[in-house]
């Protein structure tokens, strides 16, 4: 295969194990810094994001959104006739998206950047040695970037049924008639909504009493309402207890019939078969590779990045990890991981969050400024007012968190994340000209609420009144002198 290398025997500066986002970014970073870098991938470079995660899920969501928009176009005065779904062409669209992005993550692209690529498995055999595709290699530093795999819960009878996971759902040749999704997290909500919009009869089952557990409760409620409007049945507060062909039994005594069962109850870091014990690399209490703030493991020569270090499981986090770990490993730096990690669930409406949540803010005595999208002109113009923007503001009026729910909420999140990272205040945000009309007007309006509330405080109000009084008297005096 183009770009795949033959190994030399002298020690490598950085041995990268795993060619997903974390490993790819790390390898590119190390090679750009002039380090002799070897990346080992046992399956396909590109990892979960490209093949079974972000890319196919966002591509299938795009097709599903097109179907939903066509069905809803009547509300805007547009007639479309009957909306039909050609699942084979939806799949072709998904495959095209993967194929278009794949070259960026390919062995050839890595080789062009100066990375030596080995297709095969890597296993650590000691503190500074590994077997790479069966051949011994010595390393000055190594990076574990082996990712995570879908969890399949030990439910009675589950092994006797061919369940789908986020790794296999993309192989479906036909749209399932009745699809039951176990788990109402980001995967369950995104794929549940997508398949319902494409025409499956979808039931999402979750043991918690709401979907999107850790997200803002009001945001989760809006997503639940949207899922129900799309025809998704939600069985909340119910865990699966037993599976038999075509039937999932629940602990509330009920059961749900299915043609296909998709399991989406979380992910487990891939730490087996990598020789962690021989290398002296320890796990944490969650079973993830334990790292310090600079992503170094208990073996000072070994770093870890991305999903293998435990959640939150996001591509952008894996990428940042890869860059930080690689530069620390090859340059001897002590760059620390940024704790501000934005996240977006790409349902309709999207849920975008960063920093301190409104619920935590109230507990900590911080201020929450919230604007409903019913007052945002762009949302009104588009008939998409089911949403809100909340900002969390500290006592010095700096932005420390936020939640945006609405169409393309993820696009608004970039500005908010930068503002939080740079310690900007609500006055900075409100004083920045924003193009009208955009959903970001809600950010500005929420920031303006905060600025106005500050101006209305007794101290600032008194100072402002005094300034106006002094300025008025000065003007009067200047006039009488003329
Ligand atoms: C359905 C779905 C949708 C998602 N959507 C989003 C999204 O919209 N946005 C977002 O930010 N995140 C999303 N994610 C999460 C995202 O895909 C992951 O967080 C990210 O891809 C993890 O990257 P990684 O490099 O840490 O691990 P991985 O991509 O899992 O890469 C690990 C690689 O290591 C290889 N490997 C493992 N063991 C060995 C070994 N011993 N030797 C050699 N190679 C080995 C594996 O084959 C794999 O290629 C989604 C996930 C799923 C499942
Ligand atoms: N847009 C994105 O960024 C995106 C999209 C998809 C996935 N991801 C990442 O992938 C990871 C995995 O996603 P996920 O949705 O599989 O996991 P998750 O851990 O986020 O959610 C799992 C859900 O399953 C429920 N659950 C667990 N065991 C259950 C059982 N036995 N019966 C019923 N319900 C049960 C939990 O209450 C929870 O709501 C996420 O942590 C997320 O970070 C990100």
Q: SS in 3 state form for 38-85?
A: EEEECCCCCHHHHHCCHHHHHHHHHHHHHHHHHHHHHHHCCCCCCCCC
Compute the half-sphere exposure of residue 86: CA atoms within 13 Å on the CB side of its CA. Answer: 4
Bridge partner list, 136: 131
Query: How close is the Cα of 151 to the center of ligand 2, in Å?
Result: 9
pLDDT attached to residue 8: 66
pLDDT attached to residue 138: 97
Longest Cα–Cα distance of the chain, Å, equals 97
Phi (first) and psi of residue 74, to 5 degrees: -55, -35
Nearest ligand to the CA atom of 207: 2
Secondary structure of residue 228 in the 3-state scheme = helix
Phi and psi based region of residue 442 (left: phi greater than 0; alpha: psi -120 to 50; beta: remaining): alpha
Are β-strands 129-132 and 135-144 bridged in parallel, bridged antiparallel, or unpaired?
antiparallel
pLDDT attached to residue 457: 87
pLDDT attached to residue 464: 87
Q: Minimal CA–CA distance to 283: which of 272, 469, 294?
A: 272
pLDDT attached to residue 190: 98
Nearest 10 degrees: Cα torsion 292, 298, 302, 308: -60
Q: How far is CA 163 from CA 52, 127, 175, 211, in A?
A: 16, 39, 15, 21
Q: Quote the CA–CA distance of 177 and 196 in Å, as a whole number.
A: 10
Secondary structure of residue 273 in the 3-state scheme = coil
Which atom of ligand 2 is the closest one to the Cα of 313? 43
Question: Other CB atoms closer than 10 Å to residue 343's CB: what's the count?
Answer: 18
CB of 241 closer than 8 Å to CB of 251: yes
pLDDT attached to residue 482: 73
pLDDT attached to residue 284: 98
Report the chain (482 residues): mean pLDDT per 10 consecutive residues. 64 98 98 98 98 98 98 96 97 98 98 98 98 97 98 96 97 97 98 98 98 97 98 97 97 96 98 97 98 98 98 98 98 96 98 97 95 98 97 97 98 97 98 98 98 91 90 88 78
Bridge partner list, 267: 150
Query: How close is the Cα of 48 to the center of ligand 1, in Å?
Result: 3
The residue assigned the tokens 């939903």 is 68
Of 183, 184, 258, 352, best ligand 2 pocket probe by most atoms within 8 Å of the beta carbon: 183
CB of 259 closer than 8 Å to CB of 178: yes
Q: How far is CA 191 from CA 62, 233, 324, in A?
A: 11, 13, 32
Query: How close is the Cα of 166 to the center of ligand 1, in Å?
Result: 11
Q: Quote the CA–CA distance of 153 and 229 in Å, as a whole number.
A: 29
Q: Which domains does the chain have, with CATH numbers?
A: 14-149+268-331 (3.50.50.60), 158-266 (3.50.50.60), 349-455 (3.30.390.30)
Q: Quote the CA–CA distance of 367 and 347 in Å, as a whole number.
A: 28
Q: Minimal CA–CA distance to 371: which of 355, 385, 352, 351?
A: 385
Strand boundaries in 245-363, DSSP class E: 247-250, 255-257, 260-263, 267-269, 302-304, 343-345, 350-355
0.90 exceeded by pTM: yes
pLDDT attached to residue 4: 63
Of 187, 188, 211, 354, best ligand 2 pocket probe by most atoms within 8 Å of the beta carbon: 187
Query: How close is the Cα of 307 to the center of ligand 1, in Å?
Result: 7
Whether ligand 2 lies within 6 angstroms of the CB of 310 is answered as no
Which residues have any ligand 1 atom within 6 Å of their CB?
A: 17-23, 40-43, 47-49, 52-54, 57, 121-122, 145-147, 166, 187, 270, 273-274, 306-307, 313-316, 318, 346
């Amino acid at each position: 295969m183009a770009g795949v290398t033959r190994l030399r025997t002298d020690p490598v500066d950085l041995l990268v194990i795993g060619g997903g986002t974390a490993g790819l970014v790390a390898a590119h970073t190390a090679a750009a810094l002039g380090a002799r870098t070897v990346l080992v991938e046992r399956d396909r470079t590109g990892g979960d994001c490209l093949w079974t995660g972000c890319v196919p899920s966002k591509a299938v969501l795009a097709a599903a959104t097109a179907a939903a928009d066509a069905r809803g176009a009547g509300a805007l005065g547009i007639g479309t006739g009957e909306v039909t779904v050609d699942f084979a062409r939806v799949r072709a669209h998904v495959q095209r998206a993967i194929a278009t992005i794949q070259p960026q993550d390919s062995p050839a692209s890595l080789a062009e950047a100066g990375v030596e690529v080995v297709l095969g498995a890597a296993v650590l055999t000691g503190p500074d040695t590994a077997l790479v595709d069966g051949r011994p290699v010595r390393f000055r530093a190594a990076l574990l970037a082996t990712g995570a795999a879908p969890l399949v819960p030990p439910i009675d009878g589950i092994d006797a049924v061919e369940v789908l996971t986020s790794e296999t759902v993309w192989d479906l040749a036909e749209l399932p008639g009745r699809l039951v999704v176990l788990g109402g997290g980001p995967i369950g909500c995104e794929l549940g909504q997508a398949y319902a919009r494409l025409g499956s009869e979808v039931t999402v089952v979750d043991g918690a009493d709401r979907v999107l557990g850790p997200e803002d409760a009001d945001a989760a409620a809006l997503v639940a309402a949207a899922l129900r409007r799309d025809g998704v049945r939600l069985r909340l507060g119910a865990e699966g207890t037993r599976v038999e062909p075509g039937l999932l039994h629940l602990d509330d005594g009920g059961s749900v019939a299915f043609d296909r069962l998709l399991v989406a109850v979380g992910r487990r870091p891939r730490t087996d078969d990598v020789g962690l014990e021989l290398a002296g690399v320890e796990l944490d209490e969650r079973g993830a590779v334990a790292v310090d703030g600079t992503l170094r493991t208990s073996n000072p020569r070994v770093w870890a990045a991305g999903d293998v270090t435990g959640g939150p499981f996001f591509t952008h986090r894996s990428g940042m990890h890869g860059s930080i770990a690689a530069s620390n490993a090859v340059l001897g730096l002590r760059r620390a991981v940024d704790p501000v990690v934005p996240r977006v669930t790409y349902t309709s409406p999207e849920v975008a969050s960063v920093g301190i949540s409104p619920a935590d803010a109230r507990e900590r005595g911080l201020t929450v400024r919230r604007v409903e999208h019913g007052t945002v002109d762009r949302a009104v113009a588009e008939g998409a007012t089911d949403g809100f923007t909340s900002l969390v503001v500290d006592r010095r009026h700096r932005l420390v968190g936020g939640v945006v729910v609405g169409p393309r909420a993820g696009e608004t999140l970039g500005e908010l994340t930068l503002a939080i990272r740079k310690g900007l205040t609500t006055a900075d945000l409100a004083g920045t000209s924003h193009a009208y009309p955009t959903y970001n007007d809600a950010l500005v309006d929420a920031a303006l609420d905060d600025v106005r509330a500050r101006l209305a405080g007794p101290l600032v109000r008194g100072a402002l009144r005094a300034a106006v009084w002094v300025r008025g008297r000065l003007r009067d005096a200047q006039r009488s002198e003329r």
